[in-house]
A and B are shown apart, each in its own frame.
Chain A
Amino acid sequence: MLAGLEARRVHVEADIGRGRDVAFHLVGLAATTVKEARERVRSAIKNSGLDYPRSRFTVSLAPAELRKEGAALDLPIAVAIVLALARKEAPPNSAFLGELALDGAVRHVDGAIVATRCLRGLGYARVFVPAADAAEASLVEGVEVIPCPTLAAVVNHLLGAEPISAFMRTGNEIPDRSVVAEHDLSEVHGQDEAKRALEVAAAGGHHLLLSGPPGTGKTMLARCLPGILPPLELAEALELTQVRSLLGELPRDHPLDWARPFRGPHHGVSMAGLIGGGTGFAMPGEISRAHHGVLFLDELAEFQTPVLQALRQPLETGRVSITRSAGSVTYPARFTLIAATNPCPCGWSGDNLRACRCTPGAIDTYQRRLSGPLLDRIDLQVSVRRVPLEQLTAEPTGETSSTVRERVLAARLRQTDRQGCLNAQLKPARLRQLAPLALTSRRTLERWAAQRGLTARGFHRAWRVARTAADLDGATEIEDHHVLEALGFRLQDVAA
């Protein structure tokens, strides 16, 4: 049974009693979905041509105090009953999961890979999973995956009549590691400042804010980010696959995907939708779907304030803990945030084509809604301006995503070699130790901090971005121009 990205083991026992009245007792704190298992299990056993007990019998789900949820217990319950009736022992070191159809077919369950991973951790060597989920479960190394098409097949296997062979990977499960990007940077004309910011964001794992009038290509720029990131590492891809599996969003035939996710929830999104939530155990939200990828929040000022506030914890820690009635679960949420916003309510402030109709007060209010703790956590802030039409048609195209990706990759390697993580995730103590500032660089940073009243957090954030600029440059030391560039991305220090 699943509790977020953890699974709880449920022992299923069946005892066939005597007595003439046929009754199916299910004990062990079963929720409605599990109580209904009685009906599914009875029909499935009978329709599979197997014997069904003709006396009262009891199925116990242990531990008794754990509330049982989900249809994945159908298969183990049915197997327990059939084996008890046949007076057979349960096979050693084996675990079962699957929902039963009335005709005895074993149906898909969500989270098969999560369950398999946890069962391996508990020492199980063999896991019986729905045939549809075998490819997914097989991504877990070191455990034998038995694909179960029907209840009858499982029983035949257990009684030794007709063994099912363990699932063999066909190669489809782990495709080639390559980047297929939806959008290429070379399709974006002009906007070199924003493109550079994207490169820095990709290289150091920094969050990015794009501010500019409507129609200046903010969304397009954001969509280019996955294409300049290196493909996922295996461990990263597996983490993401588990989140998707829980949500039932995994494609059956190719469960593993190397592409960095890109999620762009609408600004009407609820707290549960963005952060995660639901009844019982919370389900992952958009931020966990964007794990190791990009979360794009367009029209940042239109999001509800509490929803934005809730982003603070995951932005800092890369994970999110949600407590619901059944308990607390933690999901990974290490994403790169790209936020886009208009400079003012009407959107045209600072545009060279149309006049802005907002009062200074309205602009002030609008920008204040954005400011504060969330904006403080966004390292890179750039204003995006309209590119003149003649430039759209006449200019040669810029660099392609793959060129930029190579620089990004080199910069990321430099960081992992040095510190084992990206610059954006460096704690201040390690930053001081691993990214020392040259004297002139330090002076520049301090001058700026004094002029603009930077907080300690802001100071460290600018420092990290400077480190990333140096990494992109291949420089071992942070030079003055790296600091200056980093400070150039601090639109938040500008008086409105």
Chain B
Amino acid sequence: MSPPEPHLRARGKWPPPDGPRVAIVGSRRPSPYGEAVAEQLGLELARAGVVVISGLALGIDAAAHRGALNGGGVTVAVMGTGVDVIYPAAHSALAEAILQAGGALVSQFPDGTTPRRHNFPARNYTMAALSDAVVVVEAAEGSGALITAEAALDLHKEVMAVPGSVFSPLSVGTHALIRDGAGLVQNARDVLAALNLGGEVLDDPLSAPLGLGFKLPGGRDGILSHLSDVLALNAAEIARKLQLPVAEVLGRLTALELDGAVKRRQDGYVRALRRGKERA
């Protein structure tokens, strides 16, 4: 494959300020873990002066953009629609925030292009072309994020992936990448090091010993120690493990949920990774 012709249409400041560009991509339906990782990576990379690139999609993409914005950085959304068509529509506010923060929405498609399935692989290729490195956070088998990673390989860009739980289908794609030689990302420093940028930016914002920056909630409550942050369990399953009546467990889960320590999904409860933080 040859690199795409860069006939890009842009809204906002394009090209972005000089500096390394890192794409953060992944599942549109991530686990709370993946979402937290993407947001944290976006934030730390932005603080280190990296332009965070992603695709404005649901899930990992949005979390990465959000993180970069929270980190006060510049972020660019490479879109699979015309730059005047925000998809999904729910992300209009996010797109607006990206523009406000001095970032850009760019697209290889003419204005007015509506979302088409076949446009997105081409967009993924463009995203790889515009970046110095691609970091995949949670990708199930066949995920679009893997197309971006493949394109990055073709274009001799750095490909990296964040490991996940071996129980989660969302780890299949990322673990396959790591097995094939992609760099393993635990934090922003790993990404910066891979781009040979470590020395310059590490002194200031990222000098503290790096974890992903959040604390796992304490395990005082027996319920929490039975919850995973990836695989949902419902009240009945937890009650069975704890040998407690389901009505009681349900009530205690709700109390934890009110405190932001657990998160409820359609299919059950997972541990929330950041206390009290609501999903945007």
CB distance from A182 to the nearest CB of B (A): 23
Closest CB in chain A relative to B172 CB, distance in Å: 10
B251 CB contacts on chain A under 8 angstroms: 481-482, 484-485, 488
Q: In the assembled complex, which residues on chain A have CB atoms less than 8 Å from the CB atom of B267? A: 343, 349-351, 383, 385
> Which residues of chain B come closer than 8 Å to A194, judged between CB atoms?
236
What count of chain A residues pass the 8 Å CB interface test?
35
**Given contacts A360-B59, A444-B258, A385 and B250 within 8 Å (CB-CB):** no
Tell me the minimal C-beta distance from B166 to chain A in angstroms. 14
Please measure, in the bound complex, the distance between the C-alpha atom of A484 and the C-alpha atom of B237, giving whole angstroms: 18
Cβ of A256 under 8 Å from chain B: no
Q: Which residues of A contact B28 (CB under 8 A)?
A: 359-360
Q: Within B222-277, which residues are at the interface with A (CB < 8 Å)?
A: 231-232, 234-237, 239-240, 246-248, 250-255, 258, 264-268
- Which residues in window 342-363 of A have CB below 8 A to B? 343, 349-352, 355, 359-361
Q: How far is the CB of B229 from chain A (nearest CB, A)?
A: 16
Residues of A within 8 A of B91 (CB): none
Q: With a CB–CB cut-off of 8 A, which chain A residues contact B88?
A: 361
A residues in contact with B268, CB < 8 Å: 350, 383, 385
B250, A196: Cβ atoms under 8 Å? yes
Q: Which residue of A lies closest to B172 (CB)?
A: A355
Residue A39 CB within 8 A of the other chain: no
> Contacting A489 at CB < 8 Å: which of B59, B248, B250, B266?
B250
Judging by beta carbons under 8 Å apart, are B266 and A484 in contact?
no
B85 to nearest A CB, angstroms?
14
| A249 CB–B CB distance under 8 Å | no
Nearest A residue to B248 via CB reads: A481
A495 at the interface (CB under 8 A from B): yes
Are A383's CB and B279's CB within 8 A? no
Interface centre among B59, B267, B278 (most CB of A within 10 A): B267
Q: How far is the CA of A494 from the CA of B253 in the complex (A)?
A: 13
Bound complex: CA A343 to CA B232 (Å): 14
Report if B102 contacts A (CB, 8 A).
no
Query: How distant is B35 from chain A, measured CB to nearest CB, in Å?
Result: 12
Of A4-12, A167-175, A185-193, A270-278, the segment with at least 4 beta carbons within 8 Å of chain B is A185-193
The 4 A-B residue pairs whose C-beta atoms are closest, nearest first, are A350-B267, A484-B251, A488-B250, A192-B236
Since A196-B247, A488-B253 are in contact, a sample of 8 more A-B pairs with Cβ atoms closer than 8 Å, ordered by chain A residue number, is: A194-B236, A195-B246, A343-B266, A343-B267, A385-B234, A444-B258, A484-B252, A485-B248
Which chain A residues have a beta carbon within 8 Å of chain B's beta carbons? 190-196, 211, 343, 349-352, 355, 359-361, 383, 385, 444, 447-448, 451, 469, 481-482, 484-485, 487-489, 491, 494-496
